[in-house]
Amino acid sequence: MAVELTIAPAPARGRLSAGALPVVIFLLLALIPLIAPIAGGGYLVSLGARVMIFAVAAVALDLLLGYGGLISFGHAAFIGLGAYSVGILAAHGITDALVALPMALAVSALYAFLTGIVCLRTSGVYFIMITLAFGQMAFFTATSLAPYGGDDGLTIAARNTFAGFALIKNERVFYYVVFAFLLGSYLFCRALVASRFGRVLRGAKENPVRMATIGFNVYRFQLVAYVIAGALAGLSGFLLANATEFVSPAYMSWQRSGELIVMVLLGGLGSLNGAIIGTAAYLLTEEWLSGFTENWKVIFGPALVVVVLFARGGLIGVWTEVRRRLGHG
């Protein structure tokens, strides 16, 4: 008599909890401008926009770091290039986002392509060092741009217009524009990771030799991922320039690249949700501690080390472990 074996699907509650997390994240972000009048006014809206702007860059970096295993210490260079695209165009009287945004994306993607051709021929610590070198090259190039402020940076007279309309001059409208870009970036990266491209990228992270043996050109897949991440970071730079109405070489310093890596690690590697959560946790904790003391980094640094050492999988990993324990309790 034949015996049929059936494999029970994962509990619906677990799948629902995992799938509900991004909904909760974006719902909370969408509600911030609505609760701002009773919780913190314009400051809360401004802080929320800043968190989302850096979350775009963190999501892009997680695509490289978490799914591709590519530790880039030059990711902030793409943010700076996107921001300077806005600033330089504005200095020449071109202030429409329909020109500035494609330019920011194109410049960042082109720089990612040209540097990625070289960087991705290395691996490990050599890849880290060469991305750092290219990032610093962009940084020192920006400091030498005397017509555009040099070390002092460049002030932008006003935010970009959209087809001539000053839509994002209003803080709430700008907030929801940033929200839409973050949501679009998240959904795009999520679809990319779930696609055949994403499976090859993750396979190359685990065993590039095996992926090459079965016929995939690992170098090309990694280069495409590098260019996509660079373009998304350029989008973050475009938004940052409009948020602050100022661009500076500091946007592309290696310290900023290091902060982005910490954001991704803090949230949890290989989790796009974690990249957003890690960015929020990093920036909000920084904001909170800086209100107590000017030497807040003395407290923040050791705290981050403890989290990275003992919270396996970052904050997402902690949450998953808590849910698992509660489920078995």
Q: Write out pLDDT tens, residues 250-284.
A: 999 998 999 999 999 888 888 899 999 999 999 99
The owner of tokens 């030059």 is 74
The three-state (H, E, C) secondary structure of 185-201, written as one string:
HHHHHHHHHHCHHHHHH
User: H or E segment at 28?
Assistant: helix 12-39
Lowest-confidence segment of 72-86, 116-130, 169-183, 309-323 by average pLDDT? 309-323
What lies within 8 Å, CB to CB, of 176 at 6+ separation is 30, 33
Tokens at 312, concatenated? 């396996």
Rounded to whole angstroms, the Cα distance separating 181 from 236 reads 9
Q: Is residue 26 assigned to a domain?
A: no
Quickly state the pLDDT bin for 67 (edges 50, 70, 90). Answer: very high
Q: Mean pLDDT across the stretch 68-80?
A: 93
What lies within 8 Å, CB to CB, of 12 at 6+ separation is none
Q: Is the pLDDT of residue 3 over 60?
A: no
Q: Is residue 23 assigned to a domain?
A: no
Q: Mean pLDDT across the stretch 80-98?
A: 94
Q: Mean pLDDT across the stretch 219-234?
A: 96
CA torsion sign for 199, 201, 205, 211 is: positive
Q: Is the pLDDT of residue 8 over 90?
A: no
Q: What was the pLDDT predicted at 4?
A: 39
Q: Is residue 289 assigned to a domain?
A: no
Q: Is residue 325 assigned to a domain?
A: no
Give the bridge partners for 247, in sequence order: 154
Average pLDDT over the chain reads 87
Pairing of strands 154-155, 246-247: antiparallel
First vs last Cα of the chain: how many Å apart?
A: 40
Q: What is the pLDDT of residues 33-58, one digit of tens each?
A: 988 888 767 888 999 999 999 999 99
Cβ–Cβ < 8 Å for 101, 161: no
Q: What was the pLDDT predicted at 52?
A: 96
Q: Is residue 137 assigned to a domain?
A: yes
Q: What was the pLDDT predicted at 239?
A: 96
Rounded to whole angstroms, the Cα distance separating 82 from 304 reads 29
Residue scoring higher pLDDT (149 or 115):
115
Q: What was the pLDDT predicted at 11?
A: 42
b/e code 86-123 from CB counts within 10 Å (16+ = b): bbbbbbeeebebeebbebbbebbbebbeebbeebbeee
Q: Is residue 164 assigned to a domain?
A: yes
Q: What was the pLDDT predicted at 40?
A: 66
Instruction: Give this prediction's pTM.
Output: 0.89
Q: What was the pLDDT predicted at 132?
A: 94
Q: What was the pLDDT predicted at 109?
A: 97
Which structural domain range is residue 96 located in? 45-252
Own/partner contacts of 299-308, CB < 8 Å, gap of 24 or more, are 304/262, 304/266, 307/266, 308/262, 308/265, 308/266
Q: What is the pLDDT of residues 160-203, one digit of tens each?
A: 988 888 888 889 999 999 999 999 999 999 999 999 999 999 99
Question: What phi and psi, each to the nearest 5 degrees, are found at residue 161?
Answer: -95, 165
Residue scoring higher pLDDT (17 or 144):
144
Q: Mean pLDDT across the stretch 61-90?
A: 94
Q: What was the pLDDT predicted at 133?
A: 94
What lies within 8 Å, CB to CB, of 200 at 6+ separation is 211, 216, 218, 221
Q: Is residue 326 assigned to a domain?
A: no
The tally of domains found in the chain comes to 1
